Structure 1
Amino acid sequence: MRNGTIPGGRGLVRPMRLLGDPVLRAPCAAVEEYGPDLDTLIEDMYATMYAARGVGLAANQVGVPLRVFVYDCPDDEDRRHLGHIVNPRLVEADGVRVRGPEGCLSLPGVEAGTPRFDRAVVEGTTKDGAPVRVVGTGFFARCLQHESDHLDGGLFTDRLTGLRLRRALRAARRAPWSTPAVPAAS
């Protein structure tokens, strides 16, 4: 944060892409140009994440198919983690596998117990191109894995099976934001 400014304070809230939008299912391209356009995207992503009351947001969730995500997420000890990662790579996901409640800004109101590792490490760069390595545990590890999945065209529902998957997809189909592109529960 420069000069005490709040991330997203200068950003615009962008429309959220919802389940069924093809941009959510396509792997994102690497960021190759660093500069004002990337700065603006990141500012807008923070503004959008805060407006939606989320803890993380991937660029494809606002319709930009680039490998970028932002986060403002607590861990299990209630320590705040605030930042962004450009061209992130999930390099480690290990520890105990925990099934915990998980939702998504692209599936508003839908939540399910989703298995994730309790520890995650993501490497990438900052918006200025400086290398960054982020280590998360607990809920923050869940956030890092969730946002990394988005950039590969994945959603948390891909990690569900059986009754949990059927219930989540049924809730999505019944949601007021649902479109005909929302998959049916099998």
Structure 2
Amino acid sequence: MTSPPTRPMSDGRDFIESSIMAVLPILTAPDPVLKSKSKPVATVDDRIRTLLADMLDTMYHAPGIGLAAPQIGVLERVIVMDIGRKEEDRAPIRMVNPEIVWASDEDNTYEEGCLSVPEHYSNVVRPASVKVRYLDETGAKQEILADGLLATVVQHEMDHLDGILFIDHLSSLKRNMILRKLLKARKESE
């Protein structure tokens, strides 16, 4: 299996408009797009709603519990999450321009993985609770107080918007070891 193609995209409009299927290719490290900072969304319109829907389809298909727009090559501040374990427990959260406005002093450690860093997991320490302000799929302002797994997932996905991968929270030795393994796997699959 080859890795998804890398395409430079300023706002993702050309990619979303040409997308036939709702399940989109997920970029994998060390793709340079994943290290890029995303731009805020000016208006929550039909294009953004299509992006959100396609991101959810892609996330569920992967399967994963969170996905950020940069992971599909779209450098906009958009994330989706759903920590429901079963299909009947699904409760998708769609966030546009999310911003952490408060973080607890208490930390939690979770073993994190990432669709863009396949088959690698490591413990990451993050604030145990965060308050996030964002726009929903209608463009309405929302605020959520997240704790536990949801707090970890929202921080992980928001990191992607700033070009940060969970492996960037690890020691350089461990991070470089993972990146070498990913490069080797990519070369072997080509």
Give the TM-score range, shorter chain: 0.7 to 0.9
Cα distance per residue 1:68-103 (max 9 Å; x no partner): 00000159xxx8652111011122222422222001
Tell whether 2:58 aligns with 1:48.
yes
User: Of the candidates 65, 68, 71, which is equivalent to residue 81 of structure 2?
Assistant: 71
Quickly say closer, same or farther: Cα 1:164–1:114, change in 2 above 3 A: farther
Aligned residues: 166
Say if 1:110 and 1:171, in contact at 8 Å, map to a contact too: no
Tell me by how many angstroms 1:165 deviates: 3.2
SS at match of 2:92: strand
Quickly say closer, same or farther: Cα 1:91–1:60, change in 2 above 3 A: same
User: Of the candidates 18, 33, 50, which is equivalent to residue 23 of structure 1?
Assistant: 33
Cα distance between partner residues in 2 of 1:93 and 1:58: 20
Alignment of 1:13-162 (within 5 A): 13-74=23-84, 81-161=91-171
Q: Gaps (5+ residues) in structure 1?
A: 1-10, 180-186
Quickly say closer, same or farther: Cα 1:108–1:178, change in 2 above 3 A: farther
Say if 2:30 and 2:179, in contact at 8 Å, map to a contact too: no
Quickly say closer, same or farther: Cα 1:13–1:80, change in 2 above 3 A: closer
RMSD: 2.3
TM-score if structure 1 supplies the norm length?
0.80
Q: Gaps (5+ residues) in structure 2?
A: 1-20
SS at match of 1:110: strand
Cα distance between partner residues in 2 of 1:72 and 1:178: 32
Say if 2:39 and 2:75, in contact at 8 Å, map to a contact too: yes
Say if 1:74 and 1:80, in contact at 8 Å, map to a contact too: yes
Tell me by how many angstroms 1:39 deviates: 1.1
Cα distance per residue 1:86-136 (max 9 Å; x no partner): 011122222422222001010110111111111112111112110011211
